[in-house]
Structure 1
């Protein structure tokens, strides 16, 4: 597909670049909303994570459309897509790949696992053992896989969209902190409003609208859009604000574990994607403020006192965010 996107150097994205990004993301959004209706915030968060080159964790009760959202995003892009159903008997080699001895050539050959795709949909990720979950750590952070001392690089863009059910805990393994920290954002789909649920009954009972989705962009164009997002300007004031938010979580008396430096980086990268999707070549403090809950909540751990008093991670973070002054720089590029 022709994009008309310029990617020269580290110069700020041009108006044409931003127009292309806005048009493409709008097309993808409309495509997804043919399957997931009445959830614009969730769809927008998925697009933000895609453009920020992060990974998305969708956590909610069964039947609200977690896997449908994942598949709708994947089918909207003409790229390689693999789905991994995480189960207790899934092996790390099923995820990363394995070396197999070829009797004809008398040599070992590498057979790629499920992560070798542009978009990897991991269904019910917390049903796999910690050993299998850890197979995702390297590929999510470094976009590569190491098997038998050989390193294999993954194609870009590369995005993991994982789902998990927070209610049914029998036969599940909670994601370790290192695994959760690699997800840029966590979202919950939630129950639809009455009008959206009635619309779903009208449109989903005869056939699955997911079957009718056609790609509206491709991997090469998404990669160029990611490069555009990377050139969005972040002022020193906004950078200090992001660091102040993360630092406040580390000093909170209600939290046993605060946000990591990786979380700060994810916060800024997500804010850059939000700014670009709004047609701006610079980040506002409100861009950071608006994505804070999705980026930070799943990384924080309340201490025993906070848990006993009934305080949730979400309420603790809300209080922290309200306590950090929002900068008001004189200029967008201050």
Structure 2
């Protein structure tokens, strides 16, 4: 199971009513979680217990809305949640001061990215993850909503921190050197490892690489072009990948450098690598070089969009606190909640 998915399932099962999301105009909106009872209205005697609404019955145990809220505050949130809300308020105020806005489109795009990471990219992985979600009594919309609640404040904080971070010119130049300074090509790559001591196996894998190259030239998709021949162990299955390559990265290998000498769409190989096996390359796309002045602002924004460090967040927060005073009036709610939870345990 995807570890990140498991962590989310455990966390979303304790969603709290009234979670807050800092919006683009700095106003905090509330998204209450409504848990409806199948037995009737909240005022019915059958759905209340000592003035609290009954959410579930487990044998003789009764779970009420007060018990749920107490558990959330006591075990998962408490003072840490208050600190989080204080931080959100500080950054919301700073965003408003700077004229920074996070629109719904930005949030939606990040939510989709996070969903792909958690559920997986393939149809099979996604279906399996959603089945695990449903086994917890949850659906994809629950996951999407919880991610949105996290993404909104995160994007706001990142934008504010990025505004205050000083990016040196050399950092922008470094990024240009590994991107637009020289031509790049995106290639699909397939590597066929061999057992150098087994001559027969070596020849079979070579024939397999040749057949696969022909399949690719015929237009077969990369993942579909490979079929493990009978008698070849899984450990010799080809390693498949895709990525951007710069000319300088292949300058020391004349055979591989041919990747920059063939036309887009062409398949190169099989190319033998001594003591390893054979390689196939398919050129997908080419990007030309660009002068630094052409792409400086684009690269600067790319650096600003990178995830900020905890140290940067704390530094900017400390700076904001010098302008906006923060005073914690009371934490008695946590003591009261804890006492209430202890009383319910004794019921």
With normalisation by structure 2, the TM-score equals 0.24
Task: Tell which structure's C-alpha radius of gyration is larger.
Answer: 2
With normalisation by structure 1, the TM-score equals 0.24
Higher helix share: 2
